[in-house]
Structure 1
Amino acid sequence: MIETKDLMNHLKEIMKMKKITYKEIAQHLGLSESGVKKIMQADDLSLSRLQEITQYLEINIVDLMAHISDPKILDGRFSPEIEQFFVKFPEAFDFYWKLVVERTPLNKIQKAWNLNDAELYRWLRELDQLNLIQWQKGDNIKLPARQMTRWVGRGPLTEKIQRQWAHDLVDDSYVQNTTGASTYRLRYLKISQRTKAELQKAIEELELEFLQRSAREQSLSDEELIDVRLFLTEAAGSFVKRKLK
Protein backbone atom coordinates (compact mmCIF):
# COMPACT_ATOMS: atom_id res chain seq x y z
CA MET A 1 0.00 0.00 0.00
CA ILE A 2 1.33 3.43 -0.96
CA GLU A 3 1.30 6.10 1.73
CA THR A 4 -0.07 9.46 0.55
CA LYS A 5 2.76 11.20 2.39
CA ASP A 6 5.35 9.28 0.35
CA LEU A 7 3.51 10.13 -2.85
CA MET A 8 3.35 13.83 -2.01
CA ASN A 9 7.02 13.94 -1.04
CA HIS A 10 7.96 12.32 -4.33
CA LEU A 11 5.86 14.79 -6.33
CA LYS A 12 7.45 17.70 -4.46
CA GLU A 13 10.88 16.27 -5.21
CA ILE A 14 10.02 16.11 -8.90
CA MET A 15 8.74 19.69 -8.85
CA LYS A 16 11.98 20.85 -7.26
CA MET A 17 14.12 19.01 -9.80
CA LYS A 18 12.09 20.35 -12.72
CA LYS A 19 11.94 23.85 -11.19
CA ILE A 20 8.14 23.84 -11.41
CA THR A 21 6.23 26.04 -8.96
CA TYR A 22 2.87 25.59 -7.24
CA LYS A 23 1.67 28.60 -9.24
CA GLU A 24 2.38 26.85 -12.54
CA ILE A 25 0.54 23.70 -11.46
CA ALA A 26 -2.33 25.84 -10.20
CA GLN A 27 -2.67 27.46 -13.63
CA HIS A 28 -2.68 24.01 -15.26
CA LEU A 29 -5.37 22.71 -12.88
CA GLY A 30 -7.41 25.91 -12.92
CA LEU A 31 -7.00 26.33 -9.17
CA SER A 32 -5.49 28.88 -6.84
CA GLU A 33 -1.93 28.45 -5.63
CA SER A 34 -3.18 27.94 -2.08
CA GLY A 35 -5.58 25.31 -3.38
CA VAL A 36 -2.75 23.32 -4.91
CA LYS A 37 -0.71 23.54 -1.70
CA LYS A 38 -3.74 22.26 0.20
CA ILE A 39 -4.02 19.31 -2.18
CA MET A 40 -0.33 18.50 -1.79
CA GLN A 41 -0.67 18.55 2.01
CA ALA A 42 -3.88 16.51 2.15
CA ASP A 43 -4.10 12.94 3.45
CA ASP A 44 -5.81 11.78 0.28
CA LEU A 45 -5.55 12.62 -3.41
CA SER A 46 -8.01 11.62 -6.10
CA LEU A 47 -6.70 9.60 -9.03
CA SER A 48 -7.95 12.22 -11.49
CA ARG A 49 -5.99 14.98 -9.73
CA LEU A 50 -2.91 12.77 -9.57
CA GLN A 51 -3.16 12.10 -13.30
CA GLU A 52 -3.47 15.82 -14.02
CA ILE A 53 -0.42 16.64 -11.92
CA THR A 54 1.75 13.83 -13.32
CA GLN A 55 0.72 14.80 -16.85
CA TYR A 56 1.93 18.35 -16.27
CA LEU A 57 5.15 17.06 -14.70
CA GLU A 58 5.61 14.80 -17.74
CA ILE A 59 6.05 11.63 -15.72
CA ASN A 60 4.44 8.21 -16.12
CA ILE A 61 1.98 7.53 -13.33
CA VAL A 62 2.67 3.78 -13.49
CA ASP A 63 6.41 4.32 -13.08
CA LEU A 64 5.72 6.78 -10.26
CA MET A 65 3.66 4.27 -8.29
CA ALA A 66 6.17 1.50 -8.95
CA HIS A 67 9.09 3.58 -7.64
CA ILE A 68 7.25 4.25 -4.40
CA SER A 69 5.57 0.89 -3.79
CA ASP A 70 8.34 -1.51 -4.88
CA PRO A 71 11.79 -0.57 -3.63
CA LYS A 72 13.22 -4.04 -4.33
CA ILE A 73 16.32 -4.55 -6.40
CA LEU A 74 15.60 -7.01 -9.19
CA ASP A 75 18.15 -9.62 -10.18
CA GLY A 76 18.86 -9.15 -13.88
CA ARG A 77 20.26 -11.66 -16.32
CA PHE A 78 20.20 -12.27 -20.06
CA SER A 79 19.03 -15.54 -21.57
CA PRO A 80 21.74 -17.73 -23.17
CA GLU A 81 20.39 -16.71 -26.59
CA ILE A 82 20.78 -13.00 -25.84
CA GLU A 83 24.21 -13.50 -24.28
CA GLN A 84 25.46 -15.29 -27.39
CA PHE A 85 23.97 -12.66 -29.70
CA PHE A 86 25.63 -9.79 -27.86
CA VAL A 87 28.95 -11.64 -27.72
CA LYS A 88 28.75 -12.08 -31.49
CA PHE A 89 27.62 -8.50 -32.08
CA PRO A 90 29.10 -6.30 -29.30
CA GLU A 91 27.96 -3.17 -31.14
CA ALA A 92 24.38 -4.40 -30.67
CA PHE A 93 24.95 -4.57 -26.92
CA ASP A 94 26.34 -1.03 -26.93
CA PHE A 95 23.21 0.08 -28.79
CA TYR A 96 20.97 -1.75 -26.29
CA TRP A 97 22.76 -0.23 -23.30
CA LYS A 98 22.56 3.33 -24.59
CA LEU A 99 18.92 3.03 -25.64
CA VAL A 100 17.37 0.90 -22.90
CA VAL A 101 19.57 1.35 -19.83
CA GLU A 102 20.85 4.91 -20.24
CA ARG A 103 17.66 6.03 -22.05
CA THR A 104 19.61 7.99 -24.66
CA PRO A 105 17.26 9.43 -27.34
CA LEU A 106 17.31 7.34 -30.51
CA ASN A 107 18.13 10.28 -32.79
CA LYS A 108 21.08 11.21 -30.57
CA ILE A 109 22.52 7.68 -30.84
CA GLN A 110 22.04 7.64 -34.60
CA LYS A 111 23.77 10.99 -35.04
CA ALA A 112 26.64 10.30 -32.61
CA TRP A 113 27.42 6.89 -34.11
CA ASN A 114 26.74 7.98 -37.69
CA LEU A 115 24.21 5.19 -38.28
CA ASN A 116 22.20 5.19 -41.49
CA ASP A 117 18.53 4.22 -41.35
CA ALA A 118 19.24 0.65 -42.47
CA GLU A 119 21.75 0.12 -39.64
CA LEU A 120 19.43 1.73 -37.11
CA TYR A 121 16.46 -0.40 -38.14
CA ARG A 122 18.61 -3.51 -38.05
CA TRP A 123 19.43 -3.08 -34.38
CA LEU A 124 15.88 -2.10 -33.51
CA ARG A 125 14.59 -5.20 -35.28
CA GLU A 126 17.11 -7.44 -33.51
CA LEU A 127 16.26 -6.04 -30.07
CA ASP A 128 12.56 -6.41 -30.83
CA GLN A 129 13.00 -10.05 -31.85
CA LEU A 130 14.89 -10.70 -28.61
CA ASN A 131 11.98 -9.09 -26.66
CA LEU A 132 14.27 -6.42 -25.24
CA ILE A 133 12.11 -3.64 -26.71
CA GLN A 134 8.83 -3.40 -28.59
CA TRP A 135 9.09 -1.87 -32.04
CA GLN A 136 5.55 -0.86 -32.88
CA LYS A 137 3.83 0.50 -35.96
CA GLY A 138 4.82 3.97 -37.03
CA ASP A 139 8.36 3.45 -35.72
CA ASN A 140 7.17 3.83 -32.13
CA ILE A 141 9.63 2.30 -29.68
CA LYS A 142 8.33 1.01 -26.35
CA LEU A 143 11.09 0.49 -23.81
CA PRO A 144 10.72 -1.70 -20.71
CA ALA A 145 9.81 0.08 -17.49
CA ARG A 146 12.73 1.50 -15.55
CA GLN A 147 13.69 -0.85 -12.73
CA MET A 148 16.39 -1.12 -10.11
CA THR A 149 18.42 -3.98 -11.52
CA ARG A 150 21.45 -5.76 -10.14
CA TRP A 151 23.07 -7.91 -12.81
CA VAL A 152 23.72 -11.40 -11.46
CA GLY A 153 24.09 -13.36 -14.69
CA ARG A 154 27.26 -15.29 -15.32
CA GLY A 155 27.12 -15.80 -19.07
CA PRO A 156 30.03 -15.06 -21.42
CA LEU A 157 28.89 -11.48 -22.08
CA THR A 158 28.18 -10.59 -18.46
CA GLU A 159 31.47 -12.05 -17.26
CA LYS A 160 33.34 -10.09 -19.91
CA ILE A 161 31.74 -6.70 -19.36
CA GLN A 162 31.79 -6.92 -15.56
CA ARG A 163 35.53 -7.52 -15.56
CA GLN A 164 36.25 -5.01 -18.31
CA TRP A 165 34.00 -2.28 -16.93
CA ALA A 166 35.37 -2.73 -13.40
CA HIS A 167 38.93 -2.48 -14.75
CA ASP A 168 38.10 0.62 -16.81
CA LEU A 169 36.29 2.27 -13.91
CA VAL A 170 39.19 1.75 -11.51
CA ASP A 171 41.60 3.28 -14.04
CA ASP A 172 39.31 6.23 -14.82
CA SER A 173 38.52 6.85 -11.17
CA TYR A 174 42.21 6.85 -10.24
CA VAL A 175 42.95 9.51 -12.87
CA GLN A 176 39.86 11.65 -12.19
CA ASN A 177 40.44 11.53 -8.43
CA THR A 178 43.40 13.90 -8.82
CA THR A 179 40.97 16.62 -9.95
CA GLY A 180 38.22 15.77 -7.48
CA ALA A 181 35.93 14.51 -10.26
CA SER A 182 35.66 11.00 -8.80
CA THR A 183 35.92 9.04 -5.57
CA TYR A 184 38.84 6.63 -5.25
CA ARG A 185 39.53 4.89 -1.96
CA LEU A 186 41.81 1.91 -1.39
CA ARG A 187 41.91 0.85 2.26
CA TYR A 188 43.17 -1.99 4.43
CA LEU A 189 41.17 -3.03 7.51
CA LYS A 190 41.79 -5.60 10.23
CA ILE A 191 38.38 -6.29 11.75
CA SER A 192 36.26 -8.99 13.36
CA GLN A 193 33.85 -11.22 11.43
CA ARG A 194 30.97 -9.31 13.03
CA THR A 195 32.32 -5.97 11.84
CA LYS A 196 32.94 -7.40 8.36
CA ALA A 197 29.29 -8.51 8.22
CA GLU A 198 28.23 -5.00 9.27
CA LEU A 199 30.43 -3.55 6.53
CA GLN A 200 28.77 -5.77 3.93
CA LYS A 201 25.33 -4.72 5.17
CA ALA A 202 26.30 -1.04 5.04
CA ILE A 203 27.48 -1.43 1.45
CA GLU A 204 24.21 -3.16 0.49
CA GLU A 205 22.19 -0.38 2.13
CA LEU A 206 24.23 2.27 0.33
CA GLU A 207 23.66 0.48 -2.97
CA LEU A 208 19.91 0.23 -2.38
CA GLU A 209 19.57 3.87 -1.38
CA PHE A 210 21.22 5.22 -4.50
CA LEU A 211 19.61 2.70 -6.84
CA GLN A 212 16.28 3.97 -5.50
CA ARG A 213 17.33 7.57 -6.06
CA SER A 214 18.47 6.73 -9.57
CA ALA A 215 15.15 5.06 -10.37
CA ARG A 216 13.23 8.06 -9.04
CA GLU A 217 15.34 10.69 -10.75
CA GLN A 218 15.11 8.96 -14.13
CA SER A 219 11.46 9.99 -14.14
CA LEU A 220 12.65 13.60 -14.21
CA SER A 221 14.11 15.69 -17.00
CA ASP A 222 17.14 14.09 -18.65
CA GLU A 223 18.83 17.51 -18.56
CA GLU A 224 19.19 17.17 -14.80
CA LEU A 225 20.89 13.78 -14.89
CA ILE A 226 24.47 12.67 -15.42
CA ASP A 227 25.89 9.20 -16.02
CA VAL A 228 27.70 7.82 -12.98
CA ARG A 229 29.48 4.48 -12.68
CA LEU A 230 29.62 2.80 -9.29
CA PHE A 231 31.80 -0.13 -8.22
CA LEU A 232 31.33 -1.35 -4.64
CA THR A 233 33.65 -4.11 -3.48
CA GLU A 234 35.33 -5.69 -0.48
CA ALA A 235 37.06 -9.02 0.02
CA ALA A 236 38.90 -10.82 2.77
CA GLY A 237 42.64 -11.19 2.41
CA SER A 238 45.90 -9.30 2.24
CA PHE A 239 47.04 -6.94 -0.51
CA VAL A 240 50.43 -8.65 -0.33
CA LYS A 241 50.12 -11.97 -2.16
CA ARG A 242 53.49 -13.32 -1.07
CA LYS A 243 52.73 -15.97 1.53
CA LEU A 244 54.37 -16.14 4.94
CA LYS A 245 56.05 -19.43 5.81
Structure 2
Amino acid sequence: MKATQALTTALKAELRRAGITYAQLAVHLDLAESSVKRIFSRGELTLARIDQVLALLQLDFVDLAREVAQATPARQALSAEQEAAVVADPHLLLVAICVQAHWTAAQILETYAITHAQLVAALTVLDRLGFIELRAHNRYRLKVDQTFRWRPDGPVMAFFRQHAVPDYFEGGFDGPGEQLALVHGQIAHARAADFHDRLQRLAQDFVHQHVADQVRPAGDKTAYTLVLGMRSWLFEPFRTLLRMPGAAPGIAPRAQARR
Protein backbone atom coordinates (compact mmCIF):
# COMPACT_ATOMS: atom_id res chain seq x y z
CA MET A 1 0.00 0.00 0.00
CA LYS A 2 1.34 3.43 -0.93
CA ALA A 3 2.10 5.84 1.92
CA THR A 4 -0.61 8.33 0.91
CA GLN A 5 -3.20 5.57 0.64
CA ALA A 6 -2.18 4.17 4.02
CA LEU A 7 -2.45 7.62 5.62
CA THR A 8 -5.86 8.18 4.04
CA THR A 9 -7.09 4.79 5.24
CA ALA A 10 -5.84 5.48 8.75
CA LEU A 11 -7.50 8.91 8.82
CA LYS A 12 -10.82 7.46 7.65
CA ALA A 13 -10.63 4.85 10.41
CA GLU A 14 -9.93 7.54 13.02
CA LEU A 15 -12.88 9.62 11.79
CA ARG A 16 -15.18 6.59 12.09
CA ARG A 17 -13.92 5.87 15.61
CA ALA A 18 -14.54 9.49 16.59
CA GLY A 19 -18.02 9.45 15.02
CA ILE A 20 -17.17 12.36 12.72
CA THR A 21 -19.01 12.38 9.39
CA TYR A 22 -17.81 13.84 6.10
CA ALA A 23 -20.43 16.57 6.51
CA GLN A 24 -18.97 17.59 9.88
CA LEU A 25 -15.45 17.43 8.51
CA ALA A 26 -16.47 19.60 5.56
CA VAL A 27 -17.57 22.36 7.95
CA HIS A 28 -14.23 22.15 9.78
CA LEU A 29 -12.27 22.31 6.51
CA ASP A 30 -14.54 25.01 5.03
CA LEU A 31 -15.23 22.79 2.00
CA ALA A 32 -18.26 21.25 0.36
CA GLU A 33 -19.04 17.71 1.54
CA SER A 34 -18.65 16.49 -2.06
CA SER A 35 -15.13 17.94 -2.12
CA VAL A 36 -14.20 16.13 1.08
CA LYS A 37 -15.51 12.83 -0.30
CA ARG A 38 -13.53 13.36 -3.50
CA ILE A 39 -10.32 14.16 -1.62
CA PHE A 40 -10.59 10.98 0.45
CA SER A 41 -11.66 8.74 -2.44
CA ARG A 42 -8.72 9.91 -4.55
CA GLY A 43 -6.23 10.04 -1.70
CA GLU A 44 -5.39 13.68 -2.47
CA LEU A 45 -4.79 14.86 1.08
CA THR A 46 -2.03 17.43 1.39
CA LEU A 47 0.04 17.74 4.56
CA ALA A 48 -1.85 20.93 5.40
CA ARG A 49 -5.19 19.11 5.07
CA ILE A 50 -3.92 16.20 7.16
CA ASP A 51 -2.93 18.66 9.90
CA GLN A 52 -6.44 20.16 9.81
CA VAL A 53 -8.08 16.76 10.12
CA LEU A 54 -5.73 15.74 12.94
CA ALA A 55 -6.56 18.96 14.79
CA LEU A 56 -10.25 18.06 14.66
CA LEU A 57 -9.44 14.54 15.88
CA GLN A 58 -7.18 15.92 18.63
CA LEU A 59 -4.36 13.72 17.38
CA ASP A 60 -0.88 14.55 16.19
CA PHE A 61 1.01 13.16 13.22
CA VAL A 62 2.96 10.78 15.45
CA ASP A 63 -0.30 9.07 16.40
CA LEU A 64 -1.27 8.74 12.76
CA ALA A 65 2.16 7.43 11.75
CA ARG A 66 1.98 4.86 14.55
CA GLU A 67 -1.43 3.79 13.26
CA VAL A 68 0.01 3.16 9.81
CA ALA A 69 3.14 1.47 11.12
CA GLN A 70 1.13 -0.86 13.32
CA ALA A 71 -1.37 -1.81 10.62
CA THR A 72 -0.82 -5.49 11.35
CA PRO A 73 -3.46 -8.21 11.35
CA ALA A 74 -5.69 -7.70 14.37
CA ARG A 75 -6.03 -10.32 17.06
CA GLN A 76 -8.87 -12.82 16.82
CA ALA A 77 -8.67 -14.13 20.38
CA LEU A 78 -7.02 -13.68 23.77
CA SER A 79 -5.22 -16.40 25.67
CA ALA A 80 -7.09 -18.28 28.38
CA GLU A 81 -4.94 -16.51 30.98
CA GLN A 82 -5.81 -13.10 29.53
CA GLU A 83 -9.51 -13.95 29.49
CA ALA A 84 -9.28 -15.05 33.11
CA ALA A 85 -7.84 -11.63 33.99
CA VAL A 86 -10.69 -9.88 32.15
CA VAL A 87 -13.51 -11.87 33.73
CA ALA A 88 -12.03 -11.62 37.25
CA ASP A 89 -12.84 -7.88 37.37
CA PRO A 90 -16.47 -6.85 36.60
CA HIS A 91 -15.38 -3.33 35.62
CA LEU A 92 -12.73 -4.72 33.26
CA LEU A 93 -15.20 -7.10 31.61
CA LEU A 94 -17.74 -4.31 31.18
CA VAL A 95 -15.21 -1.94 29.61
CA ALA A 96 -13.85 -4.72 27.36
CA ILE A 97 -17.33 -5.37 25.96
CA CYS A 98 -17.97 -1.65 25.54
CA VAL A 99 -14.75 -0.94 23.65
CA GLN A 100 -15.35 -3.99 21.48
CA ALA A 101 -18.60 -2.25 20.55
CA HIS A 102 -16.62 0.96 19.77
CA TRP A 103 -18.04 2.98 22.64
CA THR A 104 -16.21 6.14 23.59
CA ALA A 105 -15.01 6.78 27.13
CA ALA A 106 -17.72 9.43 27.48
CA GLN A 107 -20.45 6.98 26.45
CA ILE A 108 -19.25 4.43 29.02
CA LEU A 109 -19.18 7.00 31.83
CA GLU A 110 -22.60 8.37 30.87
CA THR A 111 -24.19 4.92 30.77
CA TYR A 112 -22.62 3.01 33.66
CA ALA A 113 -21.96 3.89 37.29
CA ILE A 114 -18.19 3.62 37.20
CA THR A 115 -15.75 6.37 38.06
CA HIS A 116 -13.30 8.01 35.71
CA ALA A 117 -10.44 6.43 37.67
CA GLN A 118 -11.99 2.95 37.32
CA LEU A 119 -12.43 3.47 33.59
CA VAL A 120 -8.83 4.61 33.10
CA ALA A 121 -7.58 1.64 35.14
CA ALA A 122 -9.61 -0.77 32.99
CA LEU A 123 -8.43 0.81 29.74
CA THR A 124 -4.84 0.60 30.96
CA VAL A 125 -5.18 -3.12 31.67
CA LEU A 126 -6.81 -3.73 28.27
CA ASP A 127 -3.89 -1.90 26.66
CA ARG A 128 -1.44 -4.13 28.52
CA LEU A 129 -3.38 -7.23 27.42
CA GLY A 130 -3.16 -6.14 23.79
CA PHE A 131 -6.93 -5.68 23.48
CA ILE A 132 -6.60 -1.97 22.70
CA GLU A 133 -3.94 0.66 22.16
CA LEU A 134 -4.67 3.41 24.68
CA ARG A 135 -4.12 7.00 23.56
CA ALA A 136 -4.42 10.48 24.99
CA HIS A 137 -7.79 11.71 26.31
CA ASN A 138 -8.86 8.08 26.88
CA ARG A 139 -9.07 7.48 23.16
CA TYR A 140 -8.08 4.04 21.96
CA ARG A 141 -7.53 1.87 18.92
CA LEU A 142 -9.11 -1.58 19.02
CA LYS A 143 -6.47 -4.25 18.38
CA VAL A 144 -8.92 -7.11 17.88
CA ASP A 145 -10.64 -7.54 14.54
CA GLN A 146 -14.31 -7.87 13.70
CA THR A 147 -14.11 -11.66 13.78
CA PHE A 148 -12.80 -11.60 17.36
CA ARG A 149 -14.51 -14.13 19.57
CA TRP A 150 -14.10 -15.17 23.17
CA ARG A 151 -12.76 -18.71 23.52
CA PRO A 152 -15.68 -21.17 23.25
CA ASP A 153 -14.55 -23.00 26.39
CA GLY A 154 -12.69 -20.08 27.95
CA PRO A 155 -13.29 -18.12 31.17
CA VAL A 156 -15.42 -15.38 29.57
CA MET A 157 -17.88 -17.74 27.85
CA ALA A 158 -18.06 -19.83 31.03
CA PHE A 159 -19.06 -16.68 32.91
CA PHE A 160 -21.73 -15.82 30.36
CA ARG A 161 -23.12 -19.34 30.30
CA GLN A 162 -23.53 -19.22 34.05
CA HIS A 163 -24.81 -15.68 34.46
CA ALA A 164 -25.97 -14.18 31.17
CA VAL A 165 -27.65 -17.00 29.25
CA PRO A 166 -30.54 -17.53 31.72
CA ASP A 167 -31.19 -13.78 31.83
CA TYR A 168 -31.05 -13.47 28.04
CA PHE A 169 -33.44 -16.31 27.23
CA GLU A 170 -35.85 -15.27 29.96
CA GLY A 171 -37.15 -12.60 27.59
CA GLY A 172 -40.20 -13.17 25.41
CA PHE A 173 -38.48 -12.19 22.14
CA ASP A 174 -41.73 -10.55 21.09
CA GLY A 175 -40.66 -6.91 21.12
CA PRO A 176 -39.93 -4.72 18.07
CA GLY A 177 -37.04 -6.22 16.10
CA GLU A 178 -36.84 -9.29 18.35
CA GLN A 179 -36.92 -12.89 17.21
CA LEU A 180 -36.14 -16.36 18.50
CA ALA A 181 -35.84 -19.37 16.18
CA LEU A 182 -34.84 -22.93 17.03
CA VAL A 183 -34.46 -25.25 14.03
CA HIS A 184 -33.58 -28.94 14.12
CA GLY A 185 -32.54 -31.02 11.15
CA GLN A 186 -30.08 -33.49 9.66
CA ILE A 187 -27.82 -32.10 6.93
CA ALA A 188 -24.66 -33.18 5.13
CA HIS A 189 -21.31 -32.41 6.75
CA ALA A 190 -20.35 -30.08 3.88
CA ARG A 191 -23.59 -28.11 4.22
CA ALA A 192 -22.95 -27.70 7.96
CA ALA A 193 -19.71 -25.91 7.07
CA ASP A 194 -21.66 -23.67 4.68
CA PHE A 195 -24.10 -22.68 7.42
CA HIS A 196 -21.20 -21.98 9.76
CA ASP A 197 -19.77 -19.52 7.23
CA ARG A 198 -23.17 -17.87 6.72
CA LEU A 199 -23.60 -17.38 10.45
CA GLN A 200 -20.13 -15.85 10.64
CA ARG A 201 -21.01 -13.42 7.85
CA LEU A 202 -24.28 -12.51 9.59
CA ALA A 203 -22.38 -11.72 12.78
CA GLN A 204 -19.97 -9.52 10.80
CA ASP A 205 -22.90 -7.74 9.10
CA PHE A 206 -24.35 -6.98 12.53
CA VAL A 207 -21.01 -5.52 13.69
CA HIS A 208 -20.66 -3.45 10.50
CA GLN A 209 -24.16 -2.01 10.99
CA HIS A 210 -23.39 -1.19 14.61
CA VAL A 211 -20.25 0.70 13.60
CA ALA A 212 -22.07 2.54 10.77
CA ASP A 213 -24.88 3.62 13.13
CA GLN A 214 -22.54 5.14 15.71
CA VAL A 215 -23.07 8.54 14.06
CA ARG A 216 -26.86 8.36 14.61
CA PRO A 217 -28.47 10.15 17.57
CA ALA A 218 -29.03 7.96 20.62
CA GLY A 219 -32.80 8.28 20.19
CA ASP A 220 -32.61 6.59 16.79
CA LYS A 221 -30.98 3.43 18.12
CA THR A 222 -31.92 0.46 20.29
CA ALA A 223 -29.49 -1.91 21.96
CA TYR A 224 -29.74 -5.46 20.62
CA THR A 225 -27.74 -8.59 21.36
CA LEU A 226 -27.43 -11.14 18.58
CA VAL A 227 -26.76 -14.73 19.62
CA LEU A 228 -25.81 -17.32 17.00
CA GLY A 229 -25.26 -20.97 17.74
CA MET A 230 -25.02 -24.26 15.89
CA ARG A 231 -24.19 -27.61 17.50
CA SER A 232 -24.56 -31.30 16.82
CA TRP A 233 -26.76 -31.84 19.84
CA LEU A 234 -29.76 -33.75 21.18
CA PHE A 235 -31.78 -32.56 24.17
CA GLU A 236 -30.80 -34.62 27.25
CA PRO A 237 -34.33 -35.98 27.99
CA PHE A 238 -34.46 -37.17 24.38
CA ARG A 239 -31.06 -38.81 24.67
CA THR A 240 -32.39 -41.02 27.47
CA LEU A 241 -35.06 -42.33 25.06
CA LEU A 242 -32.62 -43.46 22.38
CA ARG A 243 -32.84 -47.13 21.51
CA MET A 244 -29.05 -47.20 21.15
CA PRO A 245 -27.54 -44.87 23.78
CA GLY A 246 -24.44 -43.11 22.52
CA ALA A 247 -25.56 -43.41 18.90
CA ALA A 248 -27.50 -40.15 18.69
CA PRO A 249 -28.46 -39.06 15.19
CA GLY A 250 -26.64 -36.03 13.83
CA ILE A 251 -29.07 -33.30 14.72
CA ALA A 252 -27.71 -29.79 14.38
CA PRO A 253 -30.11 -27.21 15.75
CA ARG A 254 -29.61 -23.58 14.98
CA ALA A 255 -30.56 -21.01 17.55
CA GLN A 256 -30.82 -17.38 16.57
CA ALA A 257 -32.04 -14.70 18.89
CA ARG A 258 -31.98 -10.94 19.08
CA ARG A 259 -32.69 -8.80 22.01
> With structure 2 as the length reference, what TM-score do the two structures score?
0.57
Q: 1:238 Cα shift?
A: 3.6
Q: 1:211 Cα shift?
A: 3.3
**Separation in 1, partners of 2:192, 2:124:** 44
Q: Larger relative contact order (C-alpha < 8 A, sep ≥ 6)?
A: 1
Residue 188 of structure 2 corresponds to which residue in structure 1? Answer: 192
> Are 2:70 and 1:75 equivalent residues in the alignment?
no
Deviations 1:105-133 (CA, angstroms, capped at 9, x unpaired): 458648853x6x6xx63674476367358
Q: 1:233 Cα shift?
A: 0.6
Contact 2:87 2:159 in 1 (8 A): no
Counterpart selection for 2:212 from 203, 207, 217: 217
Letter paired with 1:96: V
Deviations 1:55-98 (CA, angstroms, capped at 9, x unpaired): 65889995xx88xx878662234535x725743xx533455346
**Separation in 2, partners of 1:99, 1:129:** 14
Residue 230 of structure 2 corresponds to which residue in structure 1? Answer: 234
Determine which structure has the larger helix proportion and give its number: 1
Residue 182 of structure 1 corresponds to which residue in structure 2? Answer: 178
- Could you tell me the percent identity over the aligned residues? 15
Contact 2:20 2:215 in 1 (8 A): yes
Q: How does 1:145-164 map to 2 (within 5 A)?
A: 145=142, 147-148=144-145, 149-152=148-151, 154-164=153-163
Residue 39 of structure 1 corresponds to which residue in structure 2? Answer: 39
Gaps of 5+ in 1: none
Q: 1:145 Cα shift?
A: 2.5
**SS of residue matched to 1:195:** helix
Contact 1:78 1:153 in 2 (8 A): no
Contact 2:86 2:93 in 1 (8 A): no
Contact 2:84 2:156 in 1 (8 A): yes
Aligned length: 221
Q: 1:179 Cα shift?
A: 2.5
> Are 2:167 and 1:168 equivalent residues in the alignment?
yes
Superposition RMSD in Å: 4.9
**SS of residue matched to 1:74:** coil
**SS of residue matched to 1:243:** coil
Residue 256 of structure 2 corresponds to which residue in structure 1? Answer: none
Residue 208 of structure 1 corresponds to which residue in structure 2? Answer: 204
Over 3 Å counting, the alpha-carbon distance change for 1:38 and 1:230 in structure 2 is closer
Contact 2:104 2:139 in 1 (8 A): no
Over 3 Å counting, the alpha-carbon distance change for 1:146 and 1:171 in structure 2 is farther
**Separation in 1, partners of 2:178, 2:217:** 21
Gaps of 5+ in 2: 244-259
Over 3 Å counting, the alpha-carbon distance change for 1:39 and 1:104 in structure 2 is closer
Contact 1:125 1:135 in 2 (8 A): no
**SS of residue matched to 1:185:** strand
Deviations 1:24-74 (CA, angstroms, capped at 9, x unpaired): 6545334456644543554x3225445645765889995xx88xx878662
Q: 1:188 Cα shift?
A: 1.4
Q: 1:184 Cα shift?
A: 0.9
Counterpart selection for 1:141 from 134, 138, 141: 138
Q: How does 1:74-153 map to 2 (within 5 A)?
A: 74-77=76-79, 79=81, 83=84, 86-87=87-88, 90-97=89-96, 100-102=99-101, 103=103, 105=105, 109=109, 112-113=112-113, 121=117, 124-125=120-121, 128=124, 131=128, 140-145=137-142, 147-148=144-145, 149-152=148-151
> With structure 1 as the length reference, what TM-score do the two structures score?
0.60
